[in-house]
Chain A
Amino acid sequence: MLRITCPHCGERDHAEFAYGGDATIKYPSLDNADQEAWFQAVFIRKNPRGKHSELWQHVGGCREWLVVERDTLTHEIFSVTSARVLAEGGQ
């Protein structure tokens, strides 16, 4: 069982969290009409073996969105950061 340490709530079972996908995807701006750019952003994923940056929401707790750096092979978790804090430019 994965254990994720939410910056606000503390360490919890992964069942309290909802997976939100690859955190490295940059979506095109809404006025970008390029079909290929949208196709890449919406459908194409790398599925890496090893270190991966993922979005998880602590839906059973504080409901914050988190960026979790996780090893997809070993499930080791390297870091958990609030996505809001990252978006605001903090660490």
Chain B
Amino acid sequence: MSEIRSALGAAYAPGHHGVAGTGVTLRERLDLDLVQVAAFAQTREPLTAALSHELGMLLPADGRTASLQGDVTVYQIAPGRYLISRPWGVGATLFDELTPVIGPDVGAVTDLSHARSFIELRGEAAREVLARGFALDLDPLVFGENAFAQTPVHHISTLLHRLPGEPSAFRILVLRTFARSFWEWLFETSEAFGCEVLEAQR
């Protein structure tokens, strides 16, 4: 595995920023592997079965709810197309593990581990921060635990996932080449609520 470097550069400054108090905590995750597994038009069912068997879990049935089991998170980002993440260092990379399982006649496995930045935010103001850019209803009754959505923020494609087990925690996947621009929006919006930037998780 080659070393993962943050795309956020000098814009990522651990410490407290903005107004007094901590409405929101921000942290980049550099410890997560990511692949896309995509079926062809006629192979959605065999691909889903093979992937489900290899990962030992049921896969999400639609594009609204993520599936989590152990360290593994799966999003169905389009019919028959999955994003899968888990921390590095639990054996082979996802790409190396899944490539022999999903043959070229069934689908395509693409290593995206250096193609997205993972940013997490938590805290009582997290929803209000997100509401300033995401055109989504984030009420927990609508966007509950493990709800996810692919949606643009100021024309930057993102994937927003409400993390389970905490009252107000979200993970955002953003295209790496847009990550710094997105981060600047998120950081400046968070400053208005008092924000703590933690050391990136490696």
A contact residues vs B (CB 8 Å cutoff): 6, 8-10, 12-13, 15-16, 60-64, 82, 84, 88
Contact = CB atoms under 8 A, between A and B. Distances in A.
B25 to A, nearest CB: 27
B97 interface: no
Contact of A60 (B41, B76, B157): B157
B79 A61 contact: no
Contacts, number: 42
A8 B135 CA distance: 17
Interface in B105-131: none
Contact of A8 (B41, B63, B151, B157): B63
Nearest to A87: B41
A6 B41 CA distance: 19
B78 A12 contact: no
Contact of B63 (A9, A16, A60, A84): A9
A64 B64 contact: no
Interface string B53-91: 000000000111000000000001111000000000000
Contact of A62 (B77, B135, B136): B77
B59 to A, nearest CB: 14
A64 B64 CA distance: 15
Nearest to A6: B63
B64 A12 contact: no
24 contacts: A6-B63, A8-B62, A8-B76, A9-B149, A9-B150, A10-B63, A10-B64, A10-B149, A12-B135, A12-B136, A12-B151, A15-B135, A15-B152, A16-B151, A60-B150, A60-B151, A60-B152, A60-B157, A61-B151, A62-B150, A82-B79, A84-B41, A84-B79, A88-B41
Interface of B: 41, 62-64, 76-79, 135-136, 149-152, 157
B152 A62 contact: no
Contacts of B78: 8, 62-64
A12 B63 CA distance: 12
A7 to B, nearest CB: 8
Contacts of A12: 135-136, 151
Contacts of A8: 62-63, 76, 78-79
Nearest to B78: A62
B76 to A, nearest CB: 8
B63 A62 contact: yes
Contacts of B63: 6, 8-10, 61-62
Contacts of B150: 9, 60-62
